[in-house]
Amino acid sequence: MNDTHNPTLHLNAISIGTTANTRLTQHEMGRVHSVFQQVINISVHDNLISIVGKRVGQGPLNIVVNFPHDLDLTAIVKAGDIVTLDETIRIDNTLSITTNSTSIWEASINFQDLLHPVNVILSNIEVVKEVVLASKNLKGLGELIDHVNDMEISSTYQLEPISKFAVPHISSLIRAIRLRISHDIIQSSNKIIGLGSGLTPSGDDMLIGLMISMIYISENVQGIDLDVEKISSDIISDITGRTTIISEEFLREAACGRVNEPVATLMEKILISGQKEMRESAKKVLSVGSTSGADTIFGIILGTNLMLT
């Protein structure tokens, strides 16, 4: 019986990401892994499903719910709460979310009919770079964006410790990808995974941007001879325990070409849209987290240049 002073809040899901939907059908029980103001991460057999508010947005792991604007989920849900997974998701006696008849969200990835020429795509990447530099949001690995065409940065150049540590390993990773040396891709990636602080460390966000840009470009641009699927598999081959569970999930999804909506939209704009739309999309990605946006865009710039130059 529900506590009359704390009645169950009943809400409907707006959309469900493809991976979240699969996990909902495969599992009956879970536990709350972590809670934030508009996010509940649910652990199901060492995987995650995320219940998120509309302002967080769509993603492969996300179940989007129109939470009341003033609702703070940390006030009604706590880590460790038991979750029943069915057409209705129930978290103890506090929250009930109906998912039947909810639309499945998956980002588009193939734009060949509308694709810009390669020179325009590369020009668009320079515009995205300008947006980031103009924002001054260059914490994490973002400060390396201005050096993306010359990752052999002199050791005398003034960099923050995280960037200074990352540069040789990013350089090694790019070389290993160009040379198709699987062992070196794995070794270099292992130095980058988990680098930084927070739920999604800077190194992970950069790798997500790198993999996503390579996958989107290989899907759309003719004549790419890199085995992007194998490269992505190598990058994530040894990630277990090297980073946070949330970041690990994001990396695994990115290796399969699945990413949250702001990043997917930015890749779409780079490939097919005009500069105004692309600038707005880049700004939306920059607004994600304290460093995640700039770190992810850094990876996108790296991956696009790697694939097309």
State the pLDDT at residue 4.
46
Angle at 174 between CA 169 and CA 179, to 5 degrees: 120
Whether the pLDDT of residue 2 is over 60: the answer is no
Give the residues across from 11 on adjacent strands.
97
pLDDT of residue 152: 58
Mean pLDDT of the 176-187 span = 97
For the stretch 4-17, pLDDT in tens is: 456 789 999 999 99
Mean pLDDT across the stretch 144-158?
Answer: 69
Q: For the residues 192-200, what does the mean pLDDT come to? A: 94
pLDDT(250) > 80: yes
Q: So what's the pLDDT on residue 137?
A: 75
* Residues above pLDDT 70, as percent of the chain: 95
- Provide mean pLDDT across the span 150-179: 83
191-225 residues labelled b (16+ CB within 10 A) or e (exposed): bbbbbbebbbbbbbbbbbbbbbbbbbbbbbbeeee
3-class DSSP state of 241: coil
Least confident of 133-142, 161-170, 176-185: 133-142
Predicted local distance difference test score (pLDDT) of residue 3: 44
Looking up tokens 């040396």 gives: 181
- pLDDT tens for residues 270-287? 999 999 999 999 999 999
In one letter, which amino acid is 273?
A: S
